[in-house]
Amino acid sequence: MKTQKNFKFRSCWMLTVALASTAAVADIKIGVAGPHTGANAAFGEQMWRGATQAAADINSAGGINGEKIVLVKGDDACEPKQAVAAAKQLVNAEGVVGVIGHYCSSSTIPASKVYDEAQILAITPASSAPALTESGLSTMFRMCGRDDQQGEVAARYIVDTLKSKKVAVIHDKDTYGQGLADMTKNKLKAAGVDVVLYEGLTRGEKDFSSLVTKLRQVDPEVVYFGGCHPEAGPLVRQLREQGVKAKFISGDCVVTDQLVVTAGGPQYTKDLLMTFYADPRDSATGKDVVTKMRAAGFEPEGYTLFSYASMQAIAAAFTGAGTTDGDKASQWLKSHPVNTILGSKSWDSKGDLKDSPYVMYQWDANGHYRQL
């Protein structure tokens, strides 16, 4: 009799463990891949915070098809080789069924091949290089625009609003930075603007003395920089310290208060211009989320809400398709609009947004940016 009781106890215990294991496996794992360390970690923090808040809100409303979202970090430090390793770790070791990421285009492009091969639905909140969605990958999407769209807005502002005739174009030799600089340069040349200097700097570099000397010699009215805040900040400071008063314009990789930190203070970033989207923090659809995140002590700037919206799109695709199968979820997403914190979003057959308007921003004397 004692043996029978032990058998029943062991059987019940094993059944409990099995059910617990099944419940754990049933959780929907979503990777958040980006620069969680390194010079661009501020953007990785934005992505993680946005995804975390979205996952919490979706889970509290019942999750995806009744299952809870569990987030997993994938750190690429904005380095292509590390991005591939992080992607393989997320797919093979962590077993994610969806990915929000990456941030840098130079990381997203090689990592996207890993996700596509495994048929994992991936949405980048920030990577804008056109090549990402021109390679025919079926499960890769953007929650942002493209550099050819952003470059056109910058060039048009330089020509139509600033009336500038002499522009220097600088880039950081990265897929994103050089790609954006090239798009802007081509648009400027087509408009008859004289590009008096076109040159690259090295990511991680801090001393731009020789470059500043060249810029002083050509005396541009505008310096356009394709790159991110770790280089943009020191560059604009050294330009101002050396008396270069040209307008400084950059893209959406300087949309963080860390730009002011890397520049050494708001006195150097004052009047700096950049292209980005209409600030989602001002949207009525995001008011409650913004309030919630601010109450928790985090300002949802930059790509925070783009990451939140990416999670909403993944959840909608899995719910609409009735499965986490990447191919079926991707097909659903390309044929259905999704209501997000950024408004209603829809995608074309390449995975690009059908509408992604950029606008101009200007930094003020207090180290804050505002839409013009």
Q: Within 13 Å of residue 91, how many CA atoms lie on the same side as its CB?
A: 19
Q: What is the pLDDT of residues 261-275, one digit of tens each?
A: 999 999 999 999 999
Taking residues 153-182, report their average pLDDT: 96
Torsion angles phi and psi, residue 224, rounded to 5: -100, 130
| Owner of token pair 């890993």 | 114
Residue 361, pLDDT above cutoff 90: yes
| Distance, C-alpha 310 to centroid of its chain | 10
Confidence band (pLDDT; 50, 70, 90) for 132?
very high
Per-residue pLDDT band for 22 (boundaries 50, 70, 90) equals very low
Give the rounded percent of residues in the chain with a pLDDT score beyond 90: 90
User: Over 90: is that where the pLDDT of 229 sits?
Assistant: yes
> What SS3 class is residue 243?
coil
Q: What is the pTM of this model?
A: 0.84
What is the per-residue pLDDT for 283?
A: 85
Confidence of residue 218 (pLDDT cuts 50, 70, 90): very high
pLDDT for 363 beyond 80: yes
Does 145 score more than 50 pLDDT?
A: yes
Structure tokens at 298: 């985090």
What's the whole-number average pLDDT of the chain? 92
Region 191-215 average pLDDT: 96
pLDDT surpasses 90 at 19: no
Q: Indicate if the pLDDT at residue 18 is higher than 70.
A: no
pLDDT confidence of residue 356: 81
Model confidence at 193, in pLDDT bands (50, 70, 90)? very high
Span 61-89, average pLDDT: 97
Fold of 148-251: Rossmann fold (3.40.50)
36, pLDDT greater than 60: yes
Q: Is the pLDDT of residue 280 over 70?
A: yes
CATH of domain 28-144+282-356: 3.40.50.2300
Cα four-point dihedral sign 330, 43, 50, 368: negative
> Which residue intervals of the chain bear CATH 3.40.50.2300?
28-144+282-356, 148-251
Q: Report helix, strand or coil for 168.
A: strand
- Residues of the chain with pLDDT > 70, as a percent, come to 93
* pLDDT above 60 for 281: yes
| 3-state percent breakdown (helix, strand, coil) of the chain, nearest 5 | 50, 20, 30
Residues in the chain, total: 372
pLDDT tens profile 242-267: 999 999 999 999 999 999 999 999 99
What is the per-residue pLDDT for 12?
44
What per-residue confidence (pLDDT) applies to 357? 86
Residue 195 pLDDT exceeds 50 = yes
Cα 279 to the chain's mean position, in Å? 14
Residue 25 has what DSSP assignment?
Answer: H
Kindly report, residue by residue over 342-352, the tens digit of the pLDDT. 999 999 999 99
Q: Do 315 and 341 contact (CB within 8 A), yes or no? A: no
* Cis amide prior to 102 (ω within 30 degrees): yes
| pLDDT for position 75 | 98
Q: Judge whether residue 104 has pLDDT over 50.
A: yes
